[in-house]
Structure formats: C-alpha cells, structure tokens
Amino acid sequence: MIEKTVAEIAVALNAGDISSVELTQTYLDRITQFNGELNAYITVCADSALRQAKTADEKRAKGSNSPLLGVPLAHKDIFCTNGVTTTCGSRMLHNFVAPYDATVVEKFNDAGAVMLGKTNMDEFAMGSSNETSFFGPVKNPWDTKRVPGGSSGGSAVAVAADLCAMATGTDTGGSIRQPAAFCGITGFKPSYGRVSRWGMIAFASSLDQAGPLCKTAEDAALMTNVMAGLDKKDSTSIDKPVEDYTASLSNSLNGLKIGVPKQHFAEGLTAGVEQTIREALKEYENLGATITEIDLPNNHLSVSAYYVIAPAEASANLSRYDGVRYGYRCEDPADLEDMYKRTRSEGFGEEVKRRIMVGTYALSAGFYDAYYRKAQKIRRLIKNDFIDAFDEVDVIIGPTSPHTAFEIGTKTDPVTMYLEDIYTIAVNLAGLPGISIPAGMADGLPVGMHIVGSDFAEAKVLNVAHQFQQQTDWHQHKPTAFGKEN
C-alpha cells in the first residue's frame, strides 16, 4: 500500500481495502523505523495524525470521498502549523510553536488530508543540499552518503522513502524541483501567485512559491487542485480561476512543440544526465511531439541576478528575527545592540548569515543601482527570453540539474553550490510553472527532467509530465533499502 500513489490510495480507501488509520499507522511506523537514518522529519505528529485519520475514516463512512480525504501528508517545516513547532530548519525558530495555520495547511486540512509531521529543510530554505539545516543533513535514500537536494530535501526524501504519501515544498530557485530530481520523484512548482504564501515563512517574497512533491504528475495535479487559488490574505495571490488539473492529464501530445534550450545542454552538464534526457525526449517524439532547439540568451545571468534579488529580499524578510517577540534570544544580553547581534549570530547558521550580508550589501547606499536595480533589469531580460521562446514552443524541456545527487560535504564553496540551480532559477525569476519528473537513471541514481510552461500553464505542464509517465516507469523505481513494505 505504501508504494501506491495518492490517486491509488484514494481508490483503496474508497473501496475499503484499507482505512486511513491503518495507513497512517503504517507510515508512522516507517517514520519510527527510518527517520533516524534519513532525518527527513523534524517533527512527527503521531497523535494528531491518528486523530485526523479517524475523522477522515468517519467522514468517508458517511459518504464523503474527496480525493485527499485520509491521505497521509508531510508539510515542509516552512509552513506555519497551528499548535505545532515550526522551525524553518533554524535554531532561530527551534522553539516556535506557530499560533496559526498557513493557507496551504488549512487547505489540506479542509481536504481531509492527514498531517504526519513537518519535514527537514535547508535553514530558511537557503540551500541546495539540505546541509544547512540546524537539525542536521537529510540523507538521500538512494545512497545515504549523498544529499537529497534542497531546500525541500526532507519532503523529497519522505516521499521517495515512503515516509508519507505526499508532501509539500517551496521553491525559490529550484527547491522543489532539484530535490525531486535527486530523489527520483515528481516535484512541481506552480506559477508565482498560483498558491498562497500566507503562513509560508518568507525567504525571497517575489520568488517563493509552494508546490507538491509526490510520486506522479497525476498526484501533483490532485495536490495542486487543493493548494491553488486566490487568497485575499496574500496580495500577490492571483485572482484567476483554478482549473481541475486532472482534467487535461490525458490530452494527446500529438503536435506538441517542445523547445530544448541549447544553454541547458552546454558545458557543465554531465554525460549521464545528458544522455538520459535525450533518451526521454525521444519518448516525446514517439508521442507525436516535435523538438526544436531554442535560445535563452540570458539564462547564464540568472544565477547572478538571483543572488542579488533573493538575498536582498531575504535580508529584509529575516530582520524580524530579533529575539523580541518569539523565537531564540541570546543569554544575558549586555544591551540592546548586543541582544540583536548575538541573537542573530547565534540563531542563524553560516549560509543564512552570508546571504543576509550579501543582500544588505546589495541594497546599501551607493550599490543599489549597480546590484539590485541591475538584477531587476536582468530579470526582465530573462522573462523576455521566455516570452519569446513561448511564442515558438508549448513547453521547454531540459535537465533539472547538471548532475545527479552528490556526496554530503563535498560542496563547501558557496558559489559552486549556487550553480547547482543553473537550470531552475530562471523559472523563478520569470514566475513560470515548472516540474521535475524522473527521466531515467545515471550511475544508479535518479535523473530529473525539467518541464517548463508559460505563465499559468499548469495544466499543460502536468499533462506533458503525465503523458511521459504513461509511457515509462521511471517514476516507479524505488531506492531498495527503504522502498519495500515490511
């Protein structure tokens, strides 16, 4: 049962093959068994999960059959959960019990999903390997010496190792898609504005977007159906009707125009990944799609622009962590300045402090035009590249990451780590929907394929991903050590 997709679980629950309580207990047992090794969860909510499962079973007995009712879920620890510790992977919030629910959390609660717990993540979502968490690194179930990717590493691992049926994540520069690629699962970032950010702890406000991590594009569609929609509490949430994303999954891809950016098959891409993606593209040709090479001439500047905009926004977003109203405060501050400085220096980890410094510098007097304003202009160029590309093609496909999961502790230099997101970052700058799905294996590790759509083309992206998964079984490959049901 634990290997089933959300769609399959819903069928099983409806058929009475299993109850939500049984299923929840199974996942809780697996968490107990494997979390010590994988470190995917920061907080496990066993009691409340079983209560929610019981309620879901009762509702189903009364005839309710909404698709996510009773399906066990994990939330990235970036979402505020009422009455549950919400750490954002940081010492700063290690003791913070959120007094309210994020809109995403509320929506899954309303849908009857069962929250198993809160997943580990890079501190304040700043990282691409899940090594910056105050709660320690998360291990990749395909090879526990390797990273799961980041920042939604805990969620990716929880899905990959069947420690939940589905999980939420957030993606600021690739934080859903890259860990999905490294862990061999499906990870979807909807368009900016499609999912409410209320209650989602901010890293970079103009880039952050929540989305699902799960086993298939179909599951992603089911989850996006719940997550998406206007939220008046978020001024950047778009007032645009939500489609039923499952409705168009089966659409034929005959005549689909796929653009392949030449910049994504250039220097730095490892041979194994390139070969896997080229093979995958042939599947699309078999489905009737045409492939054309496209040019994203400013893509190479995306990392540079991102590392101005994201740290700048973050430097302000993280100013609220001052030890006054909640969270960590240093011991015995000598005076106000000392309280601020020691609280923040002790409460934040190295990477977070580094980005605050970079962001502060980029915004400081005399540098604003050269850095922040320049980055916003580059952002426009990058967005324009995509607009031009989507005049010619329906979707853009390439690798999610230049390589497969790397070993823990091997990328110590921040700049090398930042270049991890070279294929994903531009999509955040432009606010587009993008998905990573398993496309094959290289050296025994999963390879992710990145499918990008135009503004609010969620349905198209999911359709294109789903059709691939109808032709291939890469999404069913499991890491052997954790994949089997006991």
Residues 87-146 that bind another protein (CB under 8 A): 88, 93, 96-100, 102
- Give the pairing of strands 290-294 and 257-261: parallel
Contact set for another protein, span 270-299 (CB under 8 A): 298
Q: What are phi and psi of 199, to 5 degrees?
A: 85, 0
- Residue closer to another protein (CB basis): 15 or 334: 334
Instruction: Reply yes or no on whether 206 is catalytic.
Output: no
Contact set for another protein, span 420-449 (CB under 8 A): 429-432
Contact set for another protein, span 67-86 (CB under 8 A): 79-80, 86
Using rule CB under 8 A, residue 375 touches another protein: yes
Using CB under 8 A, which of the segments 152-160, 408-416, 462-470, 473-481 binds another protein? 408-416
Per the CB < 8 A criterion, the answer to whether 140 and 157 are in contact is yes
- The closest alpha carbon to 261, from 380, 384, 398, belongs to 398
Least CB distance from residue 404 to another protein, whole Å?
A: 23
Q: Which of 61, 247, 266, 324 binds another protein (CB under 8 A)?
A: 324
Using rule CB under 8 A, residue 361 touches another protein: yes
Q: Which of 47, 365, 473, 480 binds another protein (CB under 8 A)?
A: 365
- Residue closer to another protein (CB basis): 275 or 416: 416
Alpha carbons 456 and 473: distance in angstroms, whole number? 28
- Residue closer to another protein (CB basis): 11 or 357: 357
Structure tokens at 339: 């309280």
Amino acid at 5: T
Using rule CB under 8 A, residue 374 touches another protein: yes
Least CB distance from residue 327 to another protein, whole Å?
A: 8
- Residue closer to another protein (CB basis): 128 or 315: 315
- Give the pairing of strands 166-171 and 72-76: parallel
Number of C-beta neighbours around residue 370 at 10 A: 11
Alpha carbons 452 and 248: distance in angstroms, whole number? 16
Q: How many helices (H) and strands (E) does the chain have?
A: 16, 11
From 129, 133, 175, 401, the catalytic residue: 175
Please name the residue ranges forming H helices in 66-209: 103-110, 153-160, 177-183
From 151, 155, 196, 454, the catalytic residue: 151
- Angle CA 283–174–326, to nearest 5: 150
Using rule CB under 8 A, residue 236 touches another protein: yes
Q: Which of 326, 470, 472, 478 binds another protein (CB under 8 A)?
A: 326
Instruction: Reply yes or no on whether 151 is catalytic.
Output: yes
- The closest alpha carbon to 475, from 159, 173, 191, 252, belongs to 159
Least CB distance from residue 450 to another protein, whole Å?
A: 18
Contact set for another protein, span 151-190 (CB under 8 A): none
- Residue closer to another protein (CB basis): 431 or 446: 431
Q: Which of 47, 239, 473, 485 binds another protein (CB under 8 A)?
A: 239
Partners of residue 143 on adjacent β-strands: 140
Least CB distance from residue 196 to another protein, whole Å?
A: 9
Using rule CB under 8 A, residue 337 touches another protein: yes
- Residue closer to another protein (CB basis): 182 or 386: 386
- Residue closer to another protein (CB basis): 134 or 372: 372
Least CB distance from residue 193 to another protein, whole Å?
A: 5
Using rule CB under 8 A, residue 342 touches another protein: yes
Using rule CB under 8 A, residue 242 touches another protein: no
From 19, 20, 76, 215, the catalytic residue: 76
- Residue closer to another protein (CB basis): 216 or 299: 299
Instruction: Reply yes or no on whether 302 is catalytic.
Output: no
Looking at residue 264, what DSSP letter applies? G
Instruction: Mark residue 368 as left, alpha or beta (left: phi above 0; alpha: psi -120 to 50; beta: remaining).
Output: alpha
Provide the edge-to-edge strand list for the sheet that holds 186-189.
Answer: 41-44, 114-119, 72-76, 166-171, 209-214, 186-189, 434-442, 445-452, 395-399, 257-261, 290-294
Residue with tokens 């980890």: 349
**How many residues does the structure list for the chain?**
486
Residues labelled as active-site residues: 76, 151, 175
